[in-house]
Amino acid sequence: MSAGLVPVSRRPEWVNPALLILLTLVPAIAGTMRLAELASGAAVTEANARFFAAPLPVVVHVLVVIPYGILGALQFAPGFRRRHRTWHRNAGKALLVLGLVAALTGLWMTLSYPWPAGDGVALYVERLVFGPLMLFSLVRAALAIPRREFVSHGEWMTRAYAIGLGAGTQVLTHLPWFLLVGKPGETARGVLMGAGWVINVVFAEWLIRRQREEARRARTDCPVRSESPALPGGSLRPNAWPNTPGRG
Residue 245 within a domain: no
189-224: burial string, b at 16+ Cβ within 10 Å, e else: bbebbbbbbebbbeebeebbeebeebbeebeeeeee
CA pair distance 244, 246, nearest whole angstrom:
6
Across residues 66-83, what is the average pLDDT? Answer: 89
Q: State the residue range of the domain holding 64.
A: 7-221+235-240
Residue 109 within a domain: yes
Residue 2 within a domain: no
Residue 111 within a domain: yes
Residue 229 within a domain: no
Q: How confident is the model at residue 13 (pLDDT cuts 50, 70, 90)?
A: confident
Across residues 116-136, what is the average pLDDT? Answer: 95
What's the confidence (pLDDT) of residue 218?
Answer: 83
Cβ contact 226:187 at 8 Å: no
Rounded percentage of the chain residues whose pLDDT exceeds 70: 85
pTM: 0.82
Cβ contact 233:147 at 8 Å: yes
Closest CA to 237 of 221, 217, 215: 215
Residue 248 within a domain: no
The count of domains in the chain is: 1
Residue 61 within a domain: yes
Across residues 52-70, what is the average pLDDT? Answer: 96
Each residue's pLDDT tens digit, 145-167: 999 999 999 999 999 999 999 99
Q: How confident is the model at residue 223 (pLDDT cuts 50, 70, 90)?
A: low
Residue 247 within a domain: no
